[in-house]
Amino acid sequence: MPKIRLFFDKTLEEKKELEIIGEEFHYLCNVMRCNLGSVISLFNGKDGEFTCELISKEKKKIILKVLKRAEYLKINNHFELAFCPPKSQRLDFLIQKCTELGVKSFSPVISDHTLNRKINLDRIKKIIKEAVEQSNQIYIPEINEPTSFDKYTSNNKKIFFADIQSETKFSDLKSRSDSLNSSIFIGPEGDFSSKEINILRERKNCISFSLGPRILRSETAAIASLVLFNNLKN
């Protein structure tokens, strides 16, 4: 059986007994078919990851006993991902895959060409949690409330924005991506408007980069950008 990992939004400590109900109970008992003696890993994003044993099973709840703190690979997530939300399944795919690749947080931005202006934050939070559980991470990225293009780009954080016409060299990106308060900004289908491109190019805190001459879907550009910038940090 593959390793079972669950996000548990309460304090974790050795020898503590935990009651599991609701969706987590359904997942462990009806999906993963856990029984007495089953081993489950729990994490909460602050105390680390803990190995637990199922010690009691009832009709609507189970009890887990925390055995010990487990060793885990600590992965530092350096970048916020700002994106103009695509529609439906493509948004789900973007959130899932970028969570797997590692981000500090997500910031939906409403630009001139953004098609999806109403997003379900609760649904996105669930996708993020499930992606973290399966990708061996313990940190749950935040999903911020949608904001306007003007408001997002007027803050002081360093913003790396995808621009097919950028002439920035790979070596220049490496030397300029050392800030912990940085974000990667991916435009919508149809790209940023001419007005927005001019704003980004004029602002000192905004740095352009190119993913090559091909026109990419926004979710593809987001994934490619995270891979690029994660490699710059290694």
Q: Residue 117 sits in which domain range? A: 79-233
195 and 89 within one domain: yes
Residues 89, 149: one domain?
Answer: yes
Percent of the chain with pLDDT over 70: 94
Residues 52 and 24 in one domain: yes
Whether residues 130 and 222 share a domain: the answer is yes
If asked whether residues 60 and 141 sit together in one domain, one would say no
Same domain membership, residue 84 and residue 47? no
- Tally the domains of the chain: 2
Q: What is the pLDDT of residues 123-132, one digit of tens each?
A: 999 999 999 9
Angle between helices 88-101 and 218-233 (to 10 degrees): 10
Residues 42 and 104 in one domain: no
pLDDT band at 231 (very low <50, low <70, confident <90, very high): confident
Instruction: Give the three-state DSSP class for 35.
Output: coil
Residue where one domain finishes, among candidates 45, 70, 95: 70
Contacts of 146 (CB under 8 A, 6+ apart): 85, 108, 109, 110, 117, 119
Whether residues 30 and 142 share a domain: the answer is no
pLDDT of residue 2: 60
Q: What is the mean pLDDT of the chain?
A: 90
Residues 157 and 198 both lie in one domain: yes
User: Are 131 and 162 a contacting pair, CB within 8 Å?
Assistant: no
Residues 15 and 65 sit within 8 Å (Cβ to Cβ): yes
For residues 108 and 132, membership in a common domain is answered with yes
